[in-house]
Structure 1
Amino acid sequence: MKRLLLACCMLLCSLAAHSSPASPANPADPALTRQVNAFVDLWHADAAHARLAFFDKIAKDGVYIGTDKTERWRRDEFKAWARPHFKRKSAWAFKPLRRNVAFSEDGSIIWFDELLDTQMGICQASGVMRRKGDSFEIVHYQLSMAIPNEVSSQVTRLIRDFEAKDGWKGGPR
């Protein structure tokens, strides 16, 4: 009986390991994970060196969500807004500290999350990409500032006070 239970446990563990989604700890396709990492690293480098190729890596129907609650950009809107930043030596520099990559079984849809060192401090981001021929395109990217839980009430108060000011015209786009 013990042998039967042990065999069943081993079989279940084996099945679970083979059916889990791709991740850095258990990549189903390490080559695809390397390609995705190289693509996202190049995308960040494009911004760091103010190369307009940054926008070519975003799908025409892609969305970029920035840290301000008014920032939900379609690619071409984002490109127009960011144009002054890309006239400088560097638009912005995001240095990945950690990235987790996963993908659909056929590798056509990829999703990732990353921890970034930025001019705003440590940020978190998540993205969705799809295959486009031999490359990829970013369909959705969301950037957020990583606020420690211990100071979140102070940050919430600052935001509330800022938004309560007369004349502030911000808000969802």
Structure 2
Amino acid sequence: MKPFTLILLAFSLYFSMGAYADSDVRPSQQVNELLDGLHTAASQANLEKYLDSFTANGVFMGTDDWERWTRPVTLDQYVSERFAGGTGWTYVPLERNLIFSENRNTAWFDEIIVSKKWGRFRGAGTVIKLDGQWKIAHYAMSFLVPNEVWENVSELSTEAFTERAKNN
């Protein structure tokens, strides 16, 4: 082979391997940055960054049965009110799992996050790539309950829902 052909082949191989590696790592990095950024924005009461993490019609599911907040109305209003005094909430991710669609434009995640005040939670949801940027389309938060205390927590929860139903 001629030297020019070898150089061209080497460059082609290098850039094709680089593109493969980038397509394999970059979406994971971007989604992790999005989710970490969401938690940082919440802890800093940064309204713009927090809401910008979601799609225009994104949904956040809280831990209570009535907590289903949608953009642009109920989620924006709730977060605006909570951040108004300059105070948000802090959850620190302990672990996160990502699964990507075949075309790598959709990902599903689950994460364990911790609040010093409230304990462990699981966040789970869907992120989508829109115009080259990852956004949260759906985020659901649940309170983690160790199996050893599940029965006690279940009783408390059942009692609270029964009482709530009586008062409504």
TM over 0.5: yes
1:73-107 CA distance string (max 9 Å, x none): 11221121232211133311110000011111211
71-80 or 137-146, which deviates more: 71-80
Q: Residue 36 of structure 1: which of 31, 35, 60 is its match?
A: 31
Per the alignment, residue 117 of structure 1 pairs with 114
1:46-69 CA distance string (max 9 Å, x none): 111001120121112211100011
What are the equivalent positions in structure 2 for 1:17-166 lying under 5 Å apart? 29-52=24-47, 53-75=49-71, 76-118=73-115, 119-165=117-163
Alpha-carbon offset, residue 134 of structure 1: 2.4
Larger helix percent: 2
Aligned residues: 142
Q: SS state of the match for residue 157, structure 1?
A: helix
Runs of 4 or more, structure 1, over 3 Å off, are: 166-169
Alpha-carbon offset, residue 164 of structure 1: 2.6
Supply the distance in 2 between the matched residues of 1:39 and 1:141 (Cα, whole angstroms).
12
- For the aligned residue pairs, the C-alpha RMSD in angstroms reads 1.6
User: Structure 1: any 5+ residue segments left out of the alignment?
Assistant: 1-27
TM-score (norm 2): 0.78
Higher-Rg member (1/2): 2
